[in-house]
Amino acid sequence: MAVIYITNGFTKNTNTSHPETLAVLLINLMPDRAETERQFVSLLKNSRRDITLTFCLPKTHTLKNNARESLEKYATFDEVSSNYYDALIITGAPLDRLNFTAVDYWNEFSKIINWRKTHANQSLFICWSAYAAGEIDGIFKGQQLTKKIAGVYTTNNLIIPHSRYFTIPLRNSIDGKILAGNTEIGAVLIQNERLHSTYLTGHLEYQTDTLAQEYKRDSLAGLAPHKPNNYFDKDDIPINTWNSTANSFYRQWLDNIIATKVSTALRKE
């Protein structure tokens, strides 16, 4: 198992821990794990915070893509389940057209969602994992779609790429505070303070060409996708309009975790 250490915007080989170093567990469920790794490392480096980043996979997940490349970086959940983390991030996964119980690692995923209540101080769930975790937590009720929400959308001044076959209708929030969303694409950002959890239905980690690559992939697969909205310019060149939102969101999320960690440490002294 490899751990990536991020200090002041740079990666390094060893960790020099201090009270503000954050231990982050990232469960990577995306099909192109190597690309997703790069995306998140880039974002977390931009926060210029000191982070110990551990990559993890469910043990019961049947690997289909990138099965061996960089797999030595990954712990299984069983290997880290006795550890405690300042933050947990669970990525999206291309599973939103399946019923939850049809997912091969659904039982283990459900276990992780309950485990984090006692082993992670803050949790961030992205796209499919937000949809699934929110249902397990009883925060909201999602709804599957037959037409994909694909493109870059602005809600409550947040510019976020989306690529999903589900929505969370605004009326379906049960125990969460909706911070961003609209009637067109549903709730986009939901928080629950009781569980110290954030549910984000979009992909702020996406690079400029990620949606274009997905559009090409779906086209070649004969899925007849529509072109991602609000994304290409008049010459069909992808334009990244969400970079500022992405950096601001992750910086603020990590700052809040650090503030809580330092405050807790001071109270224990």
Q: Which residues are catalytic?
A: 127, 203, 205
**What tokens appear for 10 in the block?**
């740079």
Any idea what the Cα angle at residue 163 is, between residues 157 and 166, rounded to 5°?
Answer: 95
- Could you give phi then psi for residue 253, rounded to 5 degrees? -60, -45
Closest C-alpha among 149, 192, 154 to residue 167 = 149
Closest C-alpha among 51, 43, 44, 45 to residue 20 = 51
Q: CA dihedral defined by 25, 181, 176, 42, rounded to 10 degrees?
A: 10
Which CA distances in Å does 52 have to 3, 12, 48, 85, 108? 7, 10, 13, 10, 24
Closest C-alpha among 222, 226, 149 to residue 188 = 149
State how far Cα 77 lies from the chain centre: 17
> Using alpha carbons only, how large is the chain's radius of gyration in Å?
18
Q: Which residues pair with 163 in a beta bridge?
A: 150
In angstroms, the CA 199 to CA 191 distance is 6
